[in-house]
Amino acid sequence: MEPLERYRPIVDNFEAFLGACERPLGNAVRVNTIKASADRATAVLEEEGVDFEQASWNPRVLRLETDSPGSTWTSFHGVTHGQEEVSAVPPVVLDPQPGERVWDCCAAPGGKATQIAALMGDEGTVVANDNNLGRISALRFNAERLGATSLAVTNDDARNYSMKRFPFDAFDRTLVDAPCSCEGTIRKNPDALDTWSEGHLHSVAGIQKGILRRAIQTTREGGTVVYSTCTFAPEENEAVVQHAIENEPCRVVDFDLEMAYAAGVTAWRDDEFDPSLERAARIYPHQNDTGGFFVAKLEVTG
């Protein structure tokens, strides 16, 4: 936990934060509304004798009282999908609509991409891309299991993504759930900090900046880009968004989220960020008994 000490100045109730990071994370699933409503899914779980609790901020996210969420009837038939609770936040903030064109830049293994398809009623186009060919099979498997017929899979480096393969010239919305140092996954991955270094933070931040800039470039004027990570580091969060608003036509905008979170920071060490970064959300493990996440919503202005 030593690397987390650097966040003491920006985390309220830091001891509660550390205590939460040391506790194992429970199991959660997302109801796949392509196949069933939340009411139908919970009724089946009750019939199975699986105890659950619906998340207060989203009734389609369930905390299961079982060590094997993937062995339930609902999971086998694609009615539920194992997904960390806080991982379901970015697609909700993206708010995709039926019939739109949406790009998920870093989609494998497909939890958020299939969630986007479900939020759209499986109507429209969800381009699910990942640069890791080895993870594409998991992405395709989950799309098929969950019945996401609106989802198309591509394998490319998001930083240099070409629009030539599509009959349209821009996406309506784009999700950048960027590869990161994964500090926020410490509750489910106790070894997440074993290879941590500040050098690694800066290295991965360079990749994140490239992906976010390309996402803005391929999204239409007036469209939405959501940037998210499962880490606490401002170098990978606010600093990346700051780089985007300085170099691309976009602005940080407000969004509603019915769960506890802290505002984005506007200063870190020797760096100062645009005041609009306060509109971002820092979700800490002790606030909702979840993992950690960062989410910022951008509007493309040109």
Query: What span, in angstroms and rounded, lies between the C-alpha atoms of 200 and 19?
Result: 25
Give me the long-range contacts of 14-19 (CB less than 8 A, separation at least 24).
Answer: 16/286, 17/284, 17/285, 17/286, 19/286
Query: What span, in angstroms and rounded, lies between the C-alpha atoms of 265 and 246?
Result: 17
Query: What span, in angstroms and rounded, lies between the C-alpha atoms of 282 and 262?
Result: 5
Q: What is the pLDDT of residue 67?
A: 85
Q: Give the active site residue among 105, 106, 180, 230.
A: 230
What structural domains does the chain harbor?
Answer: 85-300 (3.40.50.150)
Mean residue pLDDT of the chain comes to 97
Q: What is the pLDDT of residue 278?
A: 98
Q: What is the pLDDT of residue 1?
A: 74
Q: What is the pLDDT of residue 242?
A: 98
- Say whether 21 is catalytic: no
Q: Of 132, 136, 156, which Cα lies nearest the Cα of 144?
A: 136
Q: What is the pLDDT of residue 38?
A: 97
User: Which parts of the chain register pLDDT below 70?
Assistant: none
Q: What is the pLDDT of residue 73?
A: 95
Q: Which residues contact 22 (CB under 8 A, 6 or more apart)?
A: 1
Q: What is the pLDDT of residue 87?
A: 98
Query: What span, in angstroms and rounded, lies between the C-alpha atoms of 40 and 32?
Result: 11
- What is the SS3 assignment for 67-136? CCHHHCHHHHCCCEEECCHHHHHHHHHHCCCCCCEEEECCCCCCHHHHHHHHHCCCCCEEEEECCCHHHH
Q: What is the DSSP letter of 25?
A: P
